[in-house]
Amino acid sequence: MRLPLLSDSRVVIAEIGPDDIVLRPPLPSSRIEDVGAAVREALAFPLAGRPLRELVTRGGSATIVIEQPSLPIPSAQFGPRHDAIVTVSDELVRLGVEQLTILVAGGLFRRTTHEIGLLVPAEFRRRFRGRVIVHDAEAEDLVTLGDEGSISLRVNPALVETDLVVTVTAAETVLHGGPAALLAASGRDSLRAAGALSLLETGASQGWRLALALERRLQASVPVTGISLVLNPPRMAGPFAGYPYDQEAIERFVGSRARRVFQLAPARVRERVLEGLPREQTCAAVYGGTPSEAHAEALLRGTLFKGIELDEQLDALVIGIPPTTPFIPRERPNPVSAAYLGLGLALRMWRNRPPLAEGGTAILVHPFPRRFPRPTQTPYRTLFFDPRTARDSNAMRESEQAALGDSHALAEYRAGRACHPLLPFVEWSACDVSAHRLGAVLIAGCRDAHSARQLGFVPVHGLGAALEMARGRGARRIGYLLAPPYVPLVVSPADV
């Protein structure tokens, strides 16, 4: 069996051995044809809390909280989230709301300015008469709702100065969607502390606990409800049609002339081809209620619908890294963001147990070039000023404090030109959650050995050599994750 794996904008063909394991997501089992009708039903019959009609203040105000569509990867230009936002807005207007606000909760991502049109359909933009606010984690007018331990919970005023808050999100992880959308409209201290061992389990997630505390404190002053969508993995057309579900389609692509032409094309052409591939995004279920209740149910259903089951942990896992950042706008990733896609996302999308055994080997297929598109990714350069930073905790703290004191970087974030200076450190912390328990992280096809070594990784010339190194370290069960899209990995619990 031959498998194509994305390595930035190139395709690497992996020869799968008889004992290797291919981790392929299941085909979507169901889809909702009328998302608007499903949203209206979820608002009328919520899992928890009162229906929307009992929460609305006629003649009053309401705030709709949405997130940047950073997940899933790859994303479709328009999908069920757009329909859900339009439906919720129309329902609020129908029930008598006169002052409507859409709050874009972007957390530490670059503040959405030029891409605001991608968040809602064009027809809705033309007729919407409310206001749109893009959250600023550094704003001086954030409202304090109290403290959770040593962390101050400060939120956007639009969450407090209203008669109703409605979240409209997709249940992707415990840190994306549901109450996490409220957290994404908070200050930098709470955003920096919002971590998680697993992105699918609430028990070991500091981010979930903070989001839940924020939701409860907000409910003490204003009614809060929400909609959570269960999204099916995106399906692609063009030369990658059928990936990663249909092996016959993959084999046709591997042996086709289109693949050879694609490999010989310049990098910019390959990137445009990948960006321009038509994709379809569908919805499997819609849940309503308090953000935490609706999100928890949707996340559980999504794990059942999309999850890949493993009977035991793997010794090594091969992950192809696509040429995209995990945030909007989509750009070619720098080394930290590329590592985050594999270690911070793919390897944290698990339930019960991590997919890799303690001391296992992660193989990231990516050239790892040291590039930082200006001005969006300029803050990532901070992690490379000092060669000790990524491997020395004291140097990391010093570098982080220096980033917070960089007035120019903060001004660039507030102007919507760059991400927040803390985002690189949040991504690196997420990588370290997975990397610290592994024996090695190999960068297959690495072209910048110094960049990989500075982050504590092992540069390897090609995938074949990386597999030999993994076997030399004792790997017997080697898995190949057909991603993106990044889907849940459900590992059987250890024997008690």
Domain residues of the chain, as ranges? 2-25+307-491, 35-231, 236-278
Round to whole Å and give the CA distance between 454 and 389.
Answer: 8
CB 196 within 8 A of CB 263: no
Q: How many CA atoms lie within 13 A of 235 on its CB side?
A: 16
Q: Which CATH architecture has domain 2-25+307-491?
A: Alpha-Beta Complex (3.90)
**Is 163 exposed, middle or buried (CB count within 10 Å of its CB: 0-12, 13-18, 19+)?**
middle
Residue 496 confidence (pLDDT): 44
The number of residues in the chain equals 496
Q: For the segment 461-489, what is each residue's pLDDT rounded down to a tens digit?
A: 999 999 999 999 999 999 999 888 889 99
Backbone angles phi, psi at 438, to 5 degrees: -95, 155
CB 233 within 8 A of CB 310: no
**pTM recorded for the entire structure:** 0.93
Q: How many CA atoms lie within 13 A of 147 on its CB side?
A: 3
CB 345 within 8 A of CB 486: yes
Buried b (16+ CB within 10 A) or exposed e, 52-70: beebbeeeebbbbbbbbbb
Give every CB contact of residue 176 below 8 A, 6+ residues apart in sequence.
67, 70, 71, 169, 170, 199
Q: What is the CATH number of domain 35-231?
A: 3.40.50.11440
CB 110 within 8 A of CB 419: yes
Q: Facing residues of 202 across strands?
A: none
Residue 495 confidence (pLDDT): 60
**Average pLDDT for runs of 10 along the chain of length 496:** 87 88 86 95 96 96 94 85 95 96 94 75 88 94 93 96 97 95 96 95 93 96 96 80 79 81 83 81 95 96 93 95 89 93 96 95 94 90 80 85 92 94 94 94 94 93 94 94 90 76
Rounded to a whole number of angstroms, the distance between the first and last alpha carbons of the chain is 36
Instruction: Supply angle C-alpha 90, 96, 99, rounded to 5.
Output: 80
Tell which residue, 28, 2, 463, has the closest CA to residue 252. Answer: 2
Element (H, E) at 316: strand 314-320
CB 363 within 8 A of CB 319: yes
Round to whole Å and give the CA distance between 191 and 423.
Answer: 9
Sole residue written with tokens 């990733």: 333
